[in-house]
Structures are given as C-alpha cells and as structure tokens.
Amino acid sequence: MTTAIRPETGLKVASPRKDLFEGVQIVSKAVATRTTLPILGHVLISQDSDTGQVRLTATDLELWIEHTLPRGQEALVPITGGGATTAPARNLTDLLAALPESSVELTSEGTDNGTFSTHVRCNRANFKLLALSPDEFPVLPSVVEKTRFVINKAHLRDAIRQVLFAVSTDESRVVLTGVLLTFKEGVLRLVATDTHRLAVKEITTLEGTSEDVSAVIPARALSELLRVTGSHDEGTVSLVLSDNQIHFRIEDEKSGSGTTLISRLIEGQFPNYERVIPQGFDRKITLERELFAAALKRASIFAREQGSANRVVIRSSEDIDGTDRLIITAVSDTLGTALEEIEIAREGATEPVEIAFNVKYLIDVLNAIESDGVHLELTAPLRPGVVKPTEGSDYFCVLMPMQVV
C-alpha cells in the first residue's frame, strides 16, 4: 500500500542561498551537540503568519536563537497546517555551504505513517533530508518583562568584548562563569572575574530603563550575542530581563531581518567584587598601548615555557638623561631571558617599583582597549594593579600580581 503524502502539513518557501545559509549559521550555535532529544539537533523552519517572513530557530533548552530572514522570502504556497518544518542542523548547514549562489526552495513533506522530510531544491538539484515533526520542537519561551533596556549595538558589543575575557572557566564556581549585569542610578554595569582579574565596564546611554536590577548572564550567551551583532555599528539592541531569563532582540531595519536570543540566567550570589578594587594608587605609568602589547607578546614566548607560569616582571626605571622607562623581563630555564625597555610617562612616587603579572592577562586587557594609550596604576609589589585606557573613565581591569622570583 502506498503511503499517502500530506503536503498541507508543511511549508514551501524560497530564499536566496546566502540569506538562508547565514541564518542557519546564526541559529546553529544554539543546537544541542549532546542530547537524548533528537529534535534538539534540528533547526525549526517556520513562517510568520502575519508578516510572511521565514524564521529559523534552534535551542539546547539553555540557549535559544531565532533568526528572521530578510523581507522578500516569499511562500510559494499558502501557509497551512502550521507552516513549519525541521532539518538536521549539521546536514543542512553543510548542504547550503556547498550550493551555488541561487534561489533555494525548501519544501516539507509529511506522511500518514508519521515520517517527515524536508526537500532542498536549487536549480536542477533536489535533496531530501529526513526530518522530525515540527510539533516536537520546543516552544520559544515567553520572557515575562521585569526590566527593559534599549542599548546602542556598538556600545553593547564593545562592553561585552571588554569584560568577556575575564570570565572564569571553572565550573565548580558556576556564578563566575557568567557576567554580572547591574543597573543602578541610571548606569548599566558589566562585571566579570575569575578571581585573578576583574574587568568592569559601564554604559550610560540607555533608553527605556526602569527599576534597579542585577543578573548573571552565562558567558556563552554573551559570546553568541557578540557574534550575532556582527561588525556593523548601526542599530540598537533591546534587552528584556525576567527573574530567570534574559531576552535580546537585534533588528536590521534595512533588510527587515532580526535575531532573538534568549538565555537562562545563572543562579547564585556574585561575589562582592568592589572590595578588591583599589581605592587609590602611589604611581601611575602611562605608555603606548600597541608598543606595550607588542613587547609583552614577545616576552610571552619566554614566559610560557614550563616553570615560568606566564610570569613577566615589569620595573620602572629612570635613565641618566632623566627619561622614564619600563623594563619588561621574562625568564625561562629552558629558553633563556627576554628583556625590553619602553619609554613611559610616570606620575606619583619616584621610587622604582617592581611587580609581576601573568602576561596573558595583561595582553587580554590591552587587546580589549581601543585607545592609543593606557594607564597602569600601581601601589606595591603584592597589591593589585589597575589598567585603564587614557581616554574615557568607564572601563578598567584589576590584575592580581604574582610573586617576583
């Protein structure tokens, strides 16, 4: 007996390959890689019954990403039976990557015996991907609004980039694997720490803010948001917080596309980070950021050797001619010694100071700063140091010192 095909249960749409491929790439980062639920390895492809736009959705039940394709991706048949289908995320991505630049037609097919498939057609090629019922796909969670912000996309992207490197990877302290977001007295603050370093960034240009809030956002969610926002500075990001979830929405007004990212928040009490922030300093060293970063990169070759523990020692010095310099050294038992001198400007105490830091931590913060110069604020060899850009007062990074050996 022939199995009856029920085309009315599915969807038939067409889209330029580039738009479809980029959309699948965006949402596929939320696809579950290890799961006992096969549907979480699929991308849901559906069409908005009001706007007619095609939506792609993926989730691992911790992170949700939904992307709306640009306007103009039209249904080839009337939307009926839910207007949705699914496709294995990895296979769909690989297939779209291999197709030529042309229009791609997606058609879903369901049968009376409960099997589903998605046809991918491009020019004269036709591929049939075995799929699962779109009814199995989890419903996108509804985030009950507690607080809402609208933030400039470029400002948010820069803020995430300037703190994300300091997040802990130690799963035994889960709360430190996220970024603390607080809003108080009109200032949005992002904080990250792994107990060896602390990065703090503030944003004041907000719209639609309300009550004071505090939440810990998983680093993975912010990393994906950083990727989704791309390199374009135009536009805004809306942020909605509930008691246990956060909802981001990025709109592209020109194309009509947009991306929604929803993540669970991390439960737990973030440590009192303010008590480790130095309240003053004895010396402030100012130097060129790129020059400093390049010297540290060369020194890191020696510092990374076994037994060196990524340690570099920096020491202020004054030449006979009165020029202030910073001497950078790294020692390796197996490789040798690195020594560089950089001209600096120095304020405060005139006595030389010698302090050691993890060179990787120094390089990370310098890469996160965009200004031409940086300030290095120091007090004593075993007291935390602070790195700040010479321009602006809304960002700093506290670094814990190492023993000078």
Please check whether residue 1 lies inside any domain of the structure. Answer: no
386 lies in the same domain as 299:
yes
User: What local confidence, expressed as pLDDT, does residue 76 receive?
Assistant: 47
Domain final residue, candidates 274, 306, 322? 274
Please check whether residue 405 lies inside any domain of the structure. Answer: no
User: Tokens 């290095």 belong to which residue?
Assistant: 376
Domain final residue, candidates 211, 243, 274? 274
User: What local confidence, expressed as pLDDT, does residue 1 receive?
Assistant: 35
11 lies in the same domain as 104:
yes
Burial of 323 (0-12, 13-18, 19+ CB in 10 A): exposed
d(CA 279, CA 87): 55
Q: Output the domain CATH number for residue 63.
A: 3.10.150.10
- Sorted by sequence, the CB contacts under 8 Å of residue 124 that are 6+ apart come out as none
Contact, 107 vs 99, CB < 8 A? no
Phi, psi of 264 (to 5 degrees): -70, 150
117 lies in the same domain as 208:
no
270 lies in the same domain as 304:
no
295 lies in the same domain as 320:
yes
- Domain range for 34 is 7-136
Please check whether residue 339 lies inside any domain of the structure. Answer: yes
pLDDT beneath 50: ranges in the chain: 1-9, 75-82
Domain final residue, candidates 117, 136, 155? 136
d(CA 242, CA 224): 20
d(CA 160, CA 348): 32
User: What local confidence, expressed as pLDDT, does residue 122 receive?
Assistant: 95
**Into how many domains does the chain fold?**
3
DSSP assignment of 255-314, as one string? T--EEEEEEEPPPSPPP-GGGGS-S--SEEEEEEHHHHHHHHHHHHHHHTSTTTTTEEEE
Please check whether residue 141 lies inside any domain of the structure. Answer: no
> What tokens appear for 82 in the block?
């839910």
User: Tokens 């939307």 belong to which residue?
Assistant: 79
Helix H or strand E segment including 42? strand 42-47
User: What local confidence, expressed as pLDDT, does residue 233 receive?
Assistant: 67
User: What local confidence, expressed as pLDDT, does residue 82 receive?
Assistant: 44
Helix H or strand E segment including 376? strand 373-378
286 lies in the same domain as 250:
no
d(CA 122, CA 31): 25
> What tokens appear for 223 in the block?
């990393």
151 lies in the same domain as 269:
yes
266 lies in the same domain as 284:
no
User: What local confidence, expressed as pLDDT, does residue 8 receive?
Assistant: 41
Please check whether residue 85 lies inside any domain of the structure. Answer: yes
d(CA 84, CA 107): 9
The Cβ of residue 3 has, within 10 Å, a number of other Cβ atoms equal to 10
pLDDT tens for each residue of 46-78: 987 777 788 999 999 999 999 999 876 554 444
Q: What are the C-alpha distances in Å from 181 to residues 22, 159, 219, 238?
A: 29, 11, 12, 15
